[in-house]
Amino acid sequence: MLNPRLPAIWYGADYNPEQWPEAVWAEDVRLIQRAAMNCATIGVFSWVLLQPGPDRWDFGWFDRVIEGLAGGGLSVILATPTAAPPAWLCRAHPEILPVDAGGRRLWWGSRRHYCPNSPAYREAAREIACRLAERYGAHPSVVLWHIDNEYGKVCYCDQCATAFRSWLQDRYGSLPALNDAWRTAFWSQAYDDWEEILPPRATPSFHNPGQVLDFRRFVSDSYLGCFLEQKAVIRDHSPQVPVTTNFMGWFKGADYWSWAPHLDVISWDSYPPPGAPPYLPAAWHDLMRSLKRQPFLLMEQSPSQVNWMPCNRPHPPGALRLQSMQTLARGADGICYFQFRQSSGGPEQFHAGIVPHAGAERSRVFAEVAELGAQLHSLGSRTTGAEIRARVAIVFDWASWWAMEQPPMITAELSYREEILRYYRAFWSLNVAVDFVRPTDPLDRYAMVVAPVLRIVTEEIAGNFERFVRGGGALLLTFGSGLTDGNDRAHLGGYPGLLRELFGIWIEELDPLCDDAAEQAGGTVGECTCRRWCDAIHLEGATALATYRSGFCAGLPAITEHRCGEGKALYIGTAPDDAALAALLAGYAAPLDITAPLQVPSGVEAVQRWSGGQPLTWVLNHTRDEATIRLPEPVRDLLTGRDLAGDVQLASQDALLLGSLED
Amino acid sequence: MLNPRLPAIWYGADYNPEQWPEAVWAEDVRLIQRAAMNCATIGVFSWVLLQPGPDRWDFGWFDRVIEGLAGGGLSVILATPTAAPPAWLCRAHPEILPVDAGGRRLWWGSRRHYCPNSPAYREAAREIACRLAERYGAHPSVVLWHIDNEYGKVCYCDQCATAFRSWLQDRYGSLPALNDAWRTAFWSQAYDDWEEILPPRATPSFHNPGQVLDFRRFVSDSYLGCFLEQKAVIRDHSPQVPVTTNFMGWFKGADYWSWAPHLDVISWDSYPPPGAPPYLPAAWHDLMRSLKRQPFLLMEQSPSQVNWMPCNRPHPPGALRLQSMQTLARGADGICYFQFRQSSGGPEQFHAGIVPHAGAERSRVFAEVAELGAQLHSLGSRTTGAEIRARVAIVFDWASWWAMEQPPMITAELSYREEILRYYRAFWSLNVAVDFVRPTDPLDRYAMVVAPVLRIVTEEIAGNFERFVRGGGALLLTFGSGLTDGNDRAHLGGYPGLLRELFGIWIEELDPLCDDAAEQAGGTVGECTCRRWCDAIHLEGATALATYRSGFCAGLPAITEHRCGEGKALYIGTAPDDAALAALLAGYAAPLDITAPLQVPSGVEAVQRWSGGQPLTWVLNHTRDEATIRLPEPVRDLLTGRDLAGDVQLASQDALLLGSLED
Amino acid sequence: MLNPRLPAIWYGADYNPEQWPEAVWAEDVRLIQRAAMNCATIGVFSWVLLQPGPDRWDFGWFDRVIEGLAGGGLSVILATPTAAPPAWLCRAHPEILPVDAGGRRLWWGSRRHYCPNSPAYREAAREIACRLAERYGAHPSVVLWHIDNEYGKVCYCDQCATAFRSWLQDRYGSLPALNDAWRTAFWSQAYDDWEEILPPRATPSFHNPGQVLDFRRFVSDSYLGCFLEQKAVIRDHSPQVPVTTNFMGWFKGADYWSWAPHLDVISWDSYPPPGAPPYLPAAWHDLMRSLKRQPFLLMEQSPSQVNWMPCNRPHPPGALRLQSMQTLARGADGICYFQFRQSSGGPEQFHAGIVPHAGAERSRVFAEVAELGAQLHSLGSRTTGAEIRARVAIVFDWASWWAMEQPPMITAELSYREEILRYYRAFWSLNVAVDFVRPTDPLDRYAMVVAPVLRIVTEEIAGNFERFVRGGGALLLTFGSGLTDGNDRAHLGGYPGLLRELFGIWIEELDPLCDDAAEQAGGTVGECTCRRWCDAIHLEGATALATYRSGFCAGLPAITEHRCGEGKALYIGTAPDDAALAALLAGYAAPLDITAPLQVPSGVEAVQRWSGGQPLTWVLNHTRDEATIRLPEPVRDLLTGRDLAGDVQLASQDALLLGSLED
């Protein structure tokens, strides 16, 4: 449960009334209520209106917004407005402005125009957070603190350089240790004085990859530092209210695993592109839920089109409800929108709002939002707090991602997220529940763990994996794994380095296939088409399940299995086609009793959460046709209250939420 | 007539003899005469040679150039050389140099390397304009002043910031008014001090669209300010000679409607890419002619290939004459070239000249230019001053263009010019004469007005449109219109905002089709294929002429008609295919008696100008084949002097200029 | 012979042991020996480890590296480490850092981060070169000095501006001469003070092409200046050891013709992309060999994949040997690799090494390198010093290349290298040996000379060509030639300017075909398809061998021949298809007795070097199939020692080195 003060499913929106005359605000509250919402997020970008000058504060209008919401029985998610410093602040402290890798200073007049390591920025941000916490921290309607907004952009300024050096001193203690970690001996890159170290600014040729990897960690930590500073001042004045910041899914700019322990609630913003396959937001939700293995809050989704893609189409009818149900199914305890009333001007003018330019009254979008609200309202707290019981985990590791896609690259055609999705998609198509884990997490709760392209493998990871396999787990590793250590230094003696013995193989050479070229492989697991990469594998104890039939690696194993203790270590040295991969995984899943909650037709998603020992099963029809759902026993659809049994027809875009007949 | 001193069709070229030894100049005059030219443009980039240093002037060589031309009976178009400030001036005043949005200063050694708001630049430009006007302003051969050259590039320097603030103060008077106009309340963009306001320099995310729109207006006005300063000093010393600057067609960098009243003569530079369809330069000419609804001067066209495209092919034989005839047909009273003698070096070295590197004597290009010159000479002043009588107007609005293509965009696949051209092309294929108008222009002289993608609709525009329709006009509006007001703030209550009542519809949602996707629509106007955009239209008094048969808007009206007063308001919520659109427009044109001057085969262009109450009809065969022209009555071809009647064969690339037998 | 101290084929690698603990070094020497290598290159990027601070020197470890190699009987190629200045040096002298055309300073942390005209850099570079030369210049194992590494990148800083001015003063003496050379009269570009002249930094529009051409010359000379400064201090202390720097094939950044006289040995780095056709590296080798018409050293090739392409595939088995044999065949006396032991970290981490991450023992790559080493070792000095006897030369001219591809361009689709390769490929397919020459080189040793796209033709070149033809040579010139003089100013009166009379033609117009469009031509030389460009040629004494059948130039000659003195001047006004071109060249080659050393099937390369009056013939099977080689007389394969006669089968990727039975 996100906050016991609001035990139902949270349903709300970013609400930015400062864009409208106060006369509109009362109407807003009525419309929020009519949409069956129970909360609203305020203040996200309100800095300049709350603090119009260095020593000028104006909380009056904000008081009235909050009282209006509270008066309407609505809870408040209170944002600190620090994602967009006012012009007056930037003008007084130009060093707040971020600088790009080429030394170009960026300007105000947009958003996120600040350096996370600017002392002046940090002080001003702490101050306004403090004022807000003092004033509203004990307000009974405030149910969540939302710090800043979508932390991210990279800055390369001198303040960052100074902070980076300090971060490196903490990490390495001495320059020899840093020089060794970064392997600076080549290209004359060794450092003799901490002051010589720079962010990876524009250079004539490739950067040192160790420097870049650490800088990525440092940037993530820099923003985490911003968050923690605000959290601390908020905690002082508002100890009872949980704190979050809104994440962005598998966002490359921050290692969310390292952030998660510091957030009371995970919240995030989901903007699947129109036409995106349904497994894509499913993967995002699963990752966000896995960060704390707790229900999360969807802080933002668009009620219809967005405005920042090259071409922004509206949601077709029904799409909003289906994607919202999927969000709940995948672990959300709340669903919010950006934004309530569509801006009449400014940079988000043509981003959809729940109340569109045409007005709420005759609006399809408003009607859909309100209808969904009513349905969620009818569920009460039936689903909140319910857990997902996954017996499969996929390893998601920001460091491996960063290292794998950092020039110079083995191949620029490889996408870490695409490889993660390759395995996720296979399980999704089998309706098998999946958690994401970091490679050092305890794995004993899982029957099967998949680690795609886990480039970086440390001693700790290797030990964790070995324990898992010896204990009976099925561990699947792919090409591009075990190449390097925690500083991205190559493991010598053959890849996958520290995992060679566990997998009973060694890899001599790496062949990235270019331009979507394909090779063939086959064996006891059947035939498969191989793309992206082929490892030249040599067996040292493992068994070949498939062998390359063509290409540079022809004759060498493509897929191997090694039994070790009670478990199995499966290695896939290429990117197999979807059908071959699904068959392979299904073959492994069956004996491990990894199953779907319900057998459903292709394109229909079945997901289960458990509440009070009882399963709740969402069935979501993503296809364009009606689907027949065969129910093994009578159940009740909690969305409609109907009891169902036998073959049930589910319309395209429609959803069921199956509980027991007692529900 | 451009200038009574030179009543014939002007025929000349940019003439830059400073590139050649004086020995060549006499030969140049002979060749200009041999080409039957009557004028030459001089001085366009001659600054450093006229003023080699801060207080050094050298007009001697320029005197000799002018006397040489005058002695040959040639008129002079006298340019101020201010498009390329000398190196010495930039070195003395580096603040003259322009700065890009990222803060990068650009350097001299090219052209257009100046900030239009630099006081040092402006003073120097005024001074040289003044010197030229003093010295040559009363010279009897000077027939036109040509200020600067192709005004355009954007600068973001601190001088521009200062000037922008001053421009905004004039526009808005107060910061609250500006904050309201720009809708700065969101993203914390509100301004509390004029000094906080910047040009839209590089930022981490989207700019405020109000700021960008106003900055575009400001840049246009900044260059207009440069022009007006020079014009004023020239007027002082040369009150009799008209003043122009050379425009660039539908150039995005300046709102030529606001410039036109300040020019005595519209002149412009036409460079259709090789293989361009003939309606493209036709549209350009019609726009340029419409700026003052007066004959214009084609200041530059290339005698053959240019040098700035990715691949620069020569004009095939005959192309130059055909495009020149089209220029005359569309309203020109003069045709000039860039440039007379091809540069032997420098940045325009491989741009064609009338005298090519190989020399004039054996040159096809020179021969074509001279043959055309003889033909034009034979026309005397028969065509000059003749007017185009268009009963159709297309609204062309720079503000809507700017706003529609400014990120964040509803769809980046939408091109304002493409949509303008969609309608222009339909009329062109019907040989219907078209004027362009600004949306606030009086419309009573037209039977039909088309406003494609007119995003910005003010009260004034709405009133103008309503008067037009009520008075019996047929007004056609398309998708993307009436979205916003003059500050690009959304109209609430449904698009097209202030035009809802006039069109009897309201639009709830906008569906930009992506990637050239297509939907179908059909109804009483037949079937049509819809691309780019579909509006979700609801009727409020209008009748649906076509309904979407597929897609997001399936079942909703695609094309509607609303009778209002004596007229009709037609709304097209998509981009129809060419055939459907031509049929639709033909259906509207017929009852309004909007007709072609002559029925000609497809690909043949027929255009009429009226002189002394008599029509002059150009017939231009743009096809690759001979065409049969059916003449309803006997006429004389003024180009050959032949009398023609009945069926006449017109060779590919050939032209007729039909007058009465008395001509 | 590269150096009499090491008369065998040089076989070695870049060896960078500073990346590894000293414990590894002894193992390295054993592995180098096991690979049958006889030399190693050290020090390439070792600056910061040799000089850790301004006045700190550490040669101890370097002494031990050299003694280890020497103790193993290995020769040393000693590099100066000046391609990567240490961070401490850049921090003390930020003016060392290079600046791009937009004024953006680049930073250290990569490589090549220096301005070649920085006095501080030059002084520091001279000093370390001097220290190395003093210490190791007389060491008996040092066989070659290798200065810096891959000279190249362009800098636009103020130091470069100053140096450029001084270079221009030397070239032109006076500003009027410079203004005339650059044709600055247009666009107001004339200079009145040397201080006004800048490098071609970012500007709003095109640069002056004369300025850009001279700046390219200046940049090449700037780096040559760096080289010569180091060479001078090395000569002082190491007069016996030859000096080189490693070139990069047909690298656009430096005119290697002007460098070659200053190098004792030409060395270069060859990195053909995977799947490159075999004639591509063949052309590179021939150009590099031609620079001094002496055997060269291949300083770097990769043992397998590289790391800087978008997708980096390993060499398939056998490819390394075949490309190495081709290198020898084309004139190498030594073959080295980058690098010996694959880096475990840093920016070249996934660039292949002879000792891969997996270790040498079980490595296919190491085995191939060692097997090749054994084979080369068995050849002793049999091939070293052997010469290529080419009777055909292709003109390769950096100035024409620079000018042709400098915006604004006649067509951006034209590639100078592609046109060079068009002719090279034709001769390669005929197995005809080719030298490259500069246009002013003596040509009397050749029977045929081909000058593709020789834009720049000076009086000296014209005289040289005329002497060649009058003396009986066959000279072939193509479109795009003779357009301009040495300052890239157009030749007037018709192209090809000074060569009009020699070729008996004049060209009126240039038609660059766009988007791979094709026209047809035909005549006594058969039919051909024309792409890229068609010249509008007029005959003035020449005979048309082919005439355009289509397009802008239809009816005009496409290929012409003019007899002049004893020779023939052949002009090809287009880019003919390969088959037509090969037939045309074969027709010219036959009567001139230009023949292949051996008749071999298509895709098999036959190349001859001469040693002591005896031919050595390499036969290289680049096809995927076994090839039958018909030997006209019995020979010995020096690679295997087998005597061969009659029809011999040569496996795919295999090579023969045929000598006489006495060899």
Q: What is the pLDDT of residue C302?
A: 98
Label the pairing between strands A526-539 and A518-523.
antiparallel
Q: Decide if C48 and A188 are in contact by the 8 Å CB cutoff.
A: yes
Q: Decide if C201 and B107 are in contact by the 8 Å CB cutoff.
A: yes
Helix C279-292 to helix C416-429 angle (10° resolution) is 100
The segment(s) of chain B belonging to CATH 2.60.40.1180 are 604-659
Q: What single string gives the DSSP state of each residue in B602-621?
A: TTEEEEEEEETTEEEEEEEE
In total, the C-beta contacts within 8 angstroms joining chain B to chain C are: 191
Q: Could you tell me what percent of chain C has a pLDDT over 90?
A: 99
Non-local (6+) Cβ contacts of B233 within 8 A are B126, B129, B130, B133
Q: Decide if C312 and A410 are in contact by the 8 Å CB cutoff.
A: yes
**Using one digit for the tens of pLDDT, what is the confidence trace for A336-383?**
999 999 999 999 999 999 999 999 999 999 999 999 999 999 999 999
Non-local (6+) Cβ contacts of C467 within 8 A are C443
CA B626 vs. chain centroid, Å, equals: 31
**B496 prior amide bond cis, ω within 30:** yes
C134 among known catalytic residues: no
Chain B: give the shortest CA distance to residue A14, in Å.
Answer: 12
Q: Could you tell me what percent of chain B has a pLDDT over 70?
A: 100
**Number of other CB atoms surrounding residue C310 within 10 Å:** 13
Residues in C closer than 8 angstroms to B81, CB to CB, are: 188
Q: Decide if A104 and B193 are in contact by the 8 Å CB cutoff.
A: no
Q: Which of B267, B389, B280, B381 is nearest to B332 (CA)?
A: B267
Residues in A closer than 8 angstroms to C87, CB to CB, are: 189-193, 196-197
Query: CA quadruple A426, A429, A432, A438: dihedral positive or negative?
Result: positive
Q: Decide if C357 and A103 are in contact by the 8 Å CB cutoff.
A: no
Q: Which amino acid would we find at residue C582?
A: A
Distances in whole angstroms, Cα of residue B586 to Cα of each of B429, B448, B449, B580, C596: 10, 12, 14, 10, 71
Q: Decide if C188 and B19 are in contact by the 8 Å CB cutoff.
A: no
Non-local (6+) Cβ contacts of B503 within 8 A are B477, B496, B542, B560, B562, B569, B571
Q: What is the pLDDT of residue B318?
A: 96
Task: State mean pLDDT over A427-449.
Answer: 98
- Find which of B160, B165, B188, B203 to mutate to test the A interface (most A CBs within 10 Å of its CB): B188
Closest alpha carbon within chain B to C407? B308
B540 among known catalytic residues: no
d(CA A552, CA A557): 12
Q: Which of A300, A466, A519, A605 is catalytic?
A: A300
Cite the DSSP H helix spans in C16-115.
23-34, 47-50, 60-71, 87-92
CA B34 vs. chain centroid, Å, equals: 31
* Partner residue facing B357 (CB), from C187, C197, C492: C492
**Using one digit for the tens of pLDDT, what is the confidence trace for A494-516?**
999 999 999 999 999 999 999 98
Chain B: give the shortest CA distance to residue A408, in Å.
Answer: 26
Residues in B closer than 8 angstroms to C187, CB to CB, are: 45, 84, 110-111, 346-348
Q: Which of A594, A660, A657, A662 is nearest to A326 (CA)?
A: A657
- Find which of B51, B344, B351 to mutate to test the C interface (most C CBs within 10 Å of its CB): B344
Q: Which of B300, B368, B519, B561 is catalytic?
A: B300
Q: Which residues does residue A114 pair with via DSSP β-bridges, in sequence order?
A: none
d(CA C421, CA C250): 11
Touching chains, C (3+ CB pairs < 8 A): A, B
Q: Which helix (H) or strand (E) holds A70?
A: helix A60-71
Which segments within C163-266 are labelled E, that is strand? 243-244, 246-247
Helix then strand then coil, in percent of chain A rounded to 5, is 35, 25, 45
d(CA C354, CA A245): 50
A536, A505 in Cβ contact below 8 A? no
Q: What is the pLDDT of residue B663?
A: 76
Q: Which of A462, A185, B557 is nearest to C343 (CA)?
A: A185
Closest alpha carbon within chain B to C506? B358
CA C69 vs. chain centroid, Å, equals: 30
**Using one digit for the tens of pLDDT, what is the confidence trace for C280-290?**
999 999 999 99
Q: Which residues does residue A495 pair with via DSSP β-bridges, in sequence order?
A: A507
Chain B: give the shortest CA distance to residue A481, in Å.
Answer: 35
A359, A407 in Cβ contact below 8 A? no
Q: Which of B404, B259, B337, B446 is nearest to B16 (CA)?
A: B337
Task: State mean pLDDT over A106-127.
Answer: 98
Q: Decide if A342 and B487 are in contact by the 8 Å CB cutoff.
A: no
Q: Which helix (H) or strand (E) holds C660?
A: none
Q: Decide if C112 and A205 are in contact by the 8 Å CB cutoff.
A: yes
A493, C359 in Cβ contact below 8 A? yes
d(CA A252, CA A425): 20
Chain B: give the shortest CA distance to residue C566, in Å.
Answer: 29
B228, A135 in Cβ contact below 8 A? no
Label the pairing between strands A614-621 and B627-637.
unpaired
CA B663 vs. chain centroid, Å, equals: 32
A97, A90 in Cβ contact below 8 A? yes
Distances in whole angstroms, Cα of residue A216 to Cα of each of A154, A227, A255, A483, C190: 9, 17, 9, 19, 49
Closest alpha carbon within chain A to B483? A357
Residues in B closer than 8 angstroms to C196, CB to CB, are: 87-88, 91, 108
Closest alpha carbon within chain A to B102? A104
Residues in C closer than 8 angstroms to B357, CB to CB, are: 490-495
Q: Decide if A189 and C105 are in contact by the 8 Å CB cutoff.
A: no
Three-class SS state of A293? coil
Of the pLDDT bands very low, low, confident and very high (cuts 50, 70, 90), residue A563 is very high
Q: What is the pLDDT of residue A10?
A: 98
Residues in C closer than 8 angstroms to A204, CB to CB, are: 98, 106, 110-113, 153
Q: What is the pLDDT of residue C1?
A: 78
Q: Decide if C209 and B346 are in contact by the 8 Å CB cutoff.
A: yes
Q: Decide if A512 and C311 are in contact by the 8 Å CB cutoff.
A: yes
Tokens 């997020």 locate to A41
d(CA C278, CA A73): 78
d(CA B579, CA B581): 5
d(CA C590, CA C432): 11
Q: Decide if C183 and B49 are in contact by the 8 Å CB cutoff.
A: no
CA A188 vs. chain centroid, Å, equals: 39
Tokens 């004639």 locate to C279
Mean of per-residue pLDDT scores for chain A = 97
Mean of per-residue pLDDT scores for chain C = 97
Of the pLDDT bands very low, low, confident and very high (cuts 50, 70, 90), residue C662 is confident
CATH topology of domain A604-659: Immunoglobulin-like (2.60.40)
pTM of the model: 0.97
Residues in B closer than 8 angstroms to A81, CB to CB, are: 188
d(CA A223, CA B86): 49
B267, B295 in Cβ contact below 8 A? no
Q: Decide if A411 and C312 are in contact by the 8 Å CB cutoff.
A: yes
d(CA C633, CA C648): 12
Three-class SS state of A62? helix
Residues in A closer than 8 angstroms to B103, CB to CB, are: 104-105
d(CA C605, CA C597): 10
First to last CA, chain B: 19
**Using one digit for the tens of pLDDT, what is the confidence trace for C157-171?**
999 999 999 999 999
**B339 prior amide bond cis, ω within 30:** yes
Q: What is the pLDDT of residue B274?
A: 87
* Partner residue facing C109 (CB), from A103, A208, A511: A208
Chain B: give the shortest CA distance to residue A105, in Å.
Answer: 7
**C512 prior amide bond cis, ω within 30:** no
Of the pLDDT bands very low, low, confident and very high (cuts 50, 70, 90), residue C465 is very high
d(CA A403, CA A399): 6
* Partner residue facing B186 (CB), from A16, A98, A104: A16
Q: What is the pLDDT of residue A663?
A: 76
d(CA C299, CA C265): 11
Q: Decide if B107 and C489 are in contact by the 8 Å CB cutoff.
A: no
Please name the CATH architecture into which domain C10-155+221-379 falls.
Answer: Alpha-Beta Barrel (3.20)
Touching chains, A (3+ CB pairs < 8 A): B, C
Running DSSP on this structure, what letter comes out for residue C81? -
The structure tokens listed for B29 are 């005059």
Q: Which of C229, C300, C540, C662 is catalytic?
A: C300
The segment(s) of chain B belonging to CATH 3.40.50.880 are 392-592
> What homologous superfamily is domain B10-155+222-379 in, according to CATH?
Glycosidases (3.20.20.80)
> What homologous superfamily is domain B392-592 in, according to CATH?
Class I glutamine amidotransferase (GATase) domain (3.40.50.880)
- Blockwise average pLDDT, block size 10, chain B, 663 residues: 94 98 97 98 98 97 98 98 98 98 97 98 98 98 98 97 98 98 98 98 98 98 98 97 98 98 98 95 98 98 97 97 98 98 98 98 97 97 96 98 97 97 98 98 98 98 98 98 98 98 98 96 96 98 98 98 97 98 95 96 98 96 98 97 97 97 83
Q: What is the pLDDT of residue B321?
A: 98
Closest alpha carbon within chain C to A553? C316
Q: Which helix (H) or strand (E) holds C197?
A: none
Non-local (6+) Cβ contacts of B635 within 8 A are B617, B643, B644, B645, B658, B659, B660, B661
Closest alpha carbon within chain B to A149? B187
* Partner residue facing B493 (CB), from A52, A113, A359: A359
Label the pairing between strands A567-572 and A474-478.
parallel
Q: Which of B18, B127, B150, B413 is catalytic?
A: B150
Q: Which helix (H) or strand (E) holds A550?
A: none
Q: Which of A67, A150, A361, A459 is catalytic?
A: A150
**Using one digit for the tens of pLDDT, what is the confidence trace for A639-655?**
999 999 999 999 999 99
Q: Could you tell me what percent of chain A has a pLDDT over 90?
A: 99
Distances in whole angstroms, Cα of residue B328 to Cα of each of A384, B72, B150, B321, B425: 76, 25, 22, 11, 19
**Number of other CB atoms surrounding residue B523 within 10 Å:** 18
Q: Decide if A106 and B493 are in contact by the 8 Å CB cutoff.
A: no
Task: Kindly tell me if the per-residue pLDDT of C358 is higher than 90.
Answer: yes
